[in-house]
Amino acid sequence: NAGVTQTPKFRVLKTGQSMTLLCAQDMNHEYMYWYRQDPGMGLRLIHYSVGEGTTAKGEVPDGYNVSRLKKQNFLLGLESAAPSQTSVYFCASSPLRIETGELFFGEGSRLTVL
Amino acid sequence: GENVEQHPSTLSVQEGDSAVIKCTYSDSASNYFPWYKQELGKRPQLIIDIRSNVGEKKDQRIAVTLNKTAKHFSLHITETQPEDSAVYFCAAVPDAAGTALIFGKGTTLSVSS
């Protein structure tokens, strides 16, 4: 039982390049999230999904797109990377409503945009 | 939308002392308030939570208090130990549907022996 797995764990991009971060969970959770973590800024919600085929914007959605084609996967895309997107990205999942339990986080993906 | 403010941003204590971290939230509809701990280089993990129908909750050396009228909640750690050194995040659920968590900016706690 791997929990929440993120790939890749490290990536360096040049400005303007595109990439996709993959999050996979094997706990049959309905809700999935993408957060970014920057020094002094905490964890900021980018996008989230409350079920297969659904997505919604969080606090900082600009410059990112997401897709949830399969219940176990949640993809985060950067179409044209910018240095401001240099960050550590965390994927998380939860069974249902947040207050029924906890968020299970992945190990994080460190992205550097030059 | 929900706004969660957390203070202080850094906190240094001696081993054995108590540590208190405070958060305020803006949305009066929020009804669930968890605390997450993140050790250096690791993922955040839930350490304690409280719901709006409870004023205080305790788990060994950690406790959380909630004042819904004032819209603030606090984390209390007693008898601190070096392994308590980490970044602590408070959070709130911004809507009645319970679909997401909004986090504070974090408090870096350093416990020196």
- Whether residue B76 contacts residue B58, with contact meaning beta carbons closer than 8 Å, is answered with no
Average pLDDT per run of 10 along chain B, which is 113 residues long?
Answer: 92 98 92 94 94 90 95 97 97 77 96 95
Q: Which residue has the tokens 């964890």?
A: A43
Q: What is the pLDDT at residue B94?
A: 75
Instruction: Please give the pLDDT value at position B58.
Output: 96
- pLDDT at residue B96, rounded to an integer: 62
C-alpha B42/C-alpha B30 separation (Å) is: 28
In the prediction, which pLDDT does B20 show? 98
| Averages of pLDDT over each 10 residues, chain A, 114 residues | 92 97 96 94 94 94 97 97 98 83 92 98
| Chain B residues in contact with chain A using a Cβ-Cβ cutoff of 8 Å | 1, 6, 9, 31-32, 34, 36, 42-46, 49, 51, 89, 93, 97-106
Partner residue opposite A99 with nearest CB, options B45, B51, B103: B51
Rounded Cα–Cα distance for residues B64 and B54 (Å): 10
The Cα–Cα gap between A22 and A76 comes to 7
Q: What is the pLDDT of residue B28?
A: 85
Query: A35 and chain B: CB distance < 8 Å anywhere?
Result: yes
Check if A50 contacts B (Cβ < 8 Å). yes
